[in-house]
Structure 1
Amino acid sequence: MTQVNLPVSVRALTAGDLPRCEWAGSSTHLDYVRRALVRAEHGEVAYLAVCPPSDLPVAIGGVDFAAKAGVGTVWQLVVHPALRSCGLGTHLVRACETAVTERGLPQAELSVEHGNVRAHRWYRRLGYVDVGERTEEWDVETADSATARHRTVCTVMRKDL
């Protein structure tokens, strides 16, 4: 196997990027992203894209500065399925953490579903610690393209920056 190393950059995700981000999730999820980009225009959110030289997003996610006072809430992280486990997610999380510190906040927080053991371990490796749990819910698209409410218990994790 030949290894190819490509430089990546991080920039703000734009509404114009969304048609090229269908890999990131269902149309329901992309609607959440679209709404987050509107909030980004008001400074409530930083929504980022990791891009190779083609400038096409291969990992996206954001920081919500309004979700909880005193912390930046990292959320909606997703890496292109064909490029997972290549370090792009770590690069994205680090960029989100930089956005938090640039905002003058001392901590980043995120939540991970209880059943997502792999992500939980990864966040621990990145320095996040469990600080509690909470029930979260959001709309999901069903197999027949309807919308249903997904409700789950998540572990809340935090990192001092």
Structure 2
Amino acid sequence: MSAVVVDLKVRDLADADLAACGFAGSKLHLTQVAKELDRARRGEVDYLAVCAKTDLPLAIGGIDYVPYPGAGSLWQLSVQPALQSCGIGTVLIGAAEQRILARGLDRAEIGVELSNPRARALYERLGYVAYDERLEAWDQQNPDGSITRYETVCAQMHKKLT
């Protein structure tokens, strides 16, 4: 079997990209991502897209500089399901860490649901260490369009960046 090599680039996510980001979540979630793009314009967050030659996002994710003083908090990371385990998430996280360093910060934080061992294994492979567990909650849109509150326990992880 031969390998396929695809050139990837990481850029800022744009409002025009949202129509191609259905893989990342529901309409409610993408409405929240649009609000985060407003925060990005104010410099509070960075929101990144990993793209191939078509310039359509294959993965997206944010870095919030507000919740943890001296750190960037990675959140809302998502890779097209058919392309998971191809290294795209690693590219996204690496670019996010470079953005954090470019702000003069030296620590990255991330929360991962205890029910998501694949994501946790990726973060651990990339050098993140769990230090706490927290109850997290957010609104989610159900297939019938209704909204419910989702609660889960997340492992809080961090990494010293150099």
What aligned pairs does 1:104-115 form with structure 2 within 5 A after superposition?
104-115=104-115
Please give the TM-score of this superposition, normalised by the length of structure 2: 0.96
Which secondary structure state, in structure 1, belongs to the residue aligned with residue 57 of structure 2?
A: coil
1:43-89 superposed Cα distances (whole Å, 9 cap, x missing partner): 00000000001111100001001122111000000001111110000
* Alignment pair present for 1:30 and 2:27: no
Residue aligning to 2:41: 41
CA distance in 2, matches of 1:118, 1:38: 31
Residue aligning to 1:64: 64
Name the amino acid aligned to 1:15: D
Residue aligning to 2:148: 148
Residue aligning to 2:135: 135
Name the amino acid aligned to 2:70: G
CA distance in 1, matches of 2:22, 2:136: 24
1:77-111 superposed Cα distances (whole Å, 9 cap, x missing partner): 00011111100000000001001100111100000
1:19-52 superposed Cα distances (whole Å, 9 cap, x missing partner): 1111211111111111110100000000000000
CA distance in 2, matches of 1:3, 1:121: 24
CA distance in 2, matches of 1:94, 1:75: 14
**Percent of pairs identical after alignment?**
49
List 4+ stretches of structure 1 deviating above 3 A. none
CA distance in 2, matches of 1:143, 1:10: 31
Name the amino acid aligned to 2:155: T
How many residue pairs get aligned? The number is 161
Residue aligning to 2:5: 5
Name the amino acid aligned to 1:39: R
What aligned pairs does 1:55-134 form with structure 2 within 5 A after superposition?
55-134=55-134
Which secondary structure state, in structure 2, belongs to the residue aligned with residue 3 of structure 1?
A: coil
Q: Which moved more, 1:21-30 or 1:36-45?
A: 21-30
Shift of 1:2: 4.5
CA distance in 2, matches of 1:143, 1:60: 22
Please give the TM-score of this superposition, normalised by the length of structure 1: 0.97
